[in-house]
């Protein structure tokens, strides 16, 4: 009977998220460090939240033509961008900029998150490295 109940629960959407709900704060913390690292130019937060094998790709519209353009970002470029923001506050996020984090799914080793930021929407994949949640993949699109 117990085995049957576990099989039914395992097939229920969201069951894995319930099992690993204790990681919710850690996942949100990693995503908050990620966004704040870019918002305020804090390389410590970028290093703490992003894995060195980061793959980040996204789309924004050209100001001149209105055409979509793709942008690739590596771990090193993420750190460099945070430094640029720190050195030039005009690149920093506006006061009170949106930071909406929605955990879409979470298991013991992986999680997917939707982040709504002032630049647009990021879909992030995180991995749990020895108890530490870190961003490994990002796909994003700017919003008007």
Question: What CATH number is associated with residue 41?
Answer: 3.10.450.50
Give a yes or no: residue 6 inside a domain.
Answer: no
Give a yes or no: residue 124 inside a domain.
Answer: yes
Measured distance CA(58)–CA(61) in Å, rounded: 10
Per-residue tokens: 51? 């894995």
Q: Three-state DSSP class for 40?
A: helix
- What does the pLDDT read at residue 19? 42
- What does the pLDDT read at residue 121? 98
**pTM higher than 0.85 for the full model?**
no
The CA dihedral of 111, 59, 93, 48, to the nearest 10 degrees, is 40
Using only the alpha carbons of the chain, give its radius of gyration: 17
Q: Which structural domain range is residue 92 located in?
A: 22-142
Give a yes or no: residue 31 inside a domain.
Answer: yes
Give a yes or no: residue 117 inside a domain.
Answer: yes
Identify whether the C-beta of residue 102 lies closer than 8 Å to the C-beta of residue 113: yes
Give a yes or no: residue 7 inside a domain.
Answer: no
Q: Which residues are within 8 A (CB) of 82 and not within 5 positions of it... i.e. 6 or more apart?
A: 37, 38, 41, 42, 43, 45, 46
Give a yes or no: residue 73 inside a domain.
Answer: yes
Per-residue tokens: 139? 């796909």
Give a yes or no: residue 16 inside a domain.
Answer: no
- What does the pLDDT read at residue 7? 40
Q: Please count the structural domains in the chain.
A: 1
Q: In angstroms, what CA-CA distances link 30 with 35, 86, 125?
A: 9, 20, 11
Give a yes or no: residue 95 inside a domain.
Answer: yes
Report the chain (144 residues): mean pLDDT per 10 consecutive residues.
43 49 87 97 98 97 93 97 95 94 95 97 97 97 90
């Amino acid at each position: 009977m117990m085995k049957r109940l576990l099989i039914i629960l395992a097939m229920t959407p969201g069951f894995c998220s319930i099992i690993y709900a204790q990681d919710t704060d850690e996942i949100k913390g990693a995503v908050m460090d990620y966004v704040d690292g870019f918002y305020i130019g804090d390389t410590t937060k970028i290093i703490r939240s992003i894995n060195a094998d980061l793959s980040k790709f996204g789309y924004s519209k050209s100001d001149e033509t209105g055409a979509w353009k793709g942008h690739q970002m590596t771990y090193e470029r993420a750190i460099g961008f945070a430094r640029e923001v720190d050195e030039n506050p005009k690149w920093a996020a506006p006061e009170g900029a949106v930071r909406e984090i929605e955990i879409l799914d979470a298991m013991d080793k992986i999680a997917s998150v939707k982040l709504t930021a002032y630049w647009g929407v990021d879909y992030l994949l995180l991995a749990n490295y020895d108890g530490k949640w870190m961003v490994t993949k990002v796909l994003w699109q700017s919003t008007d």
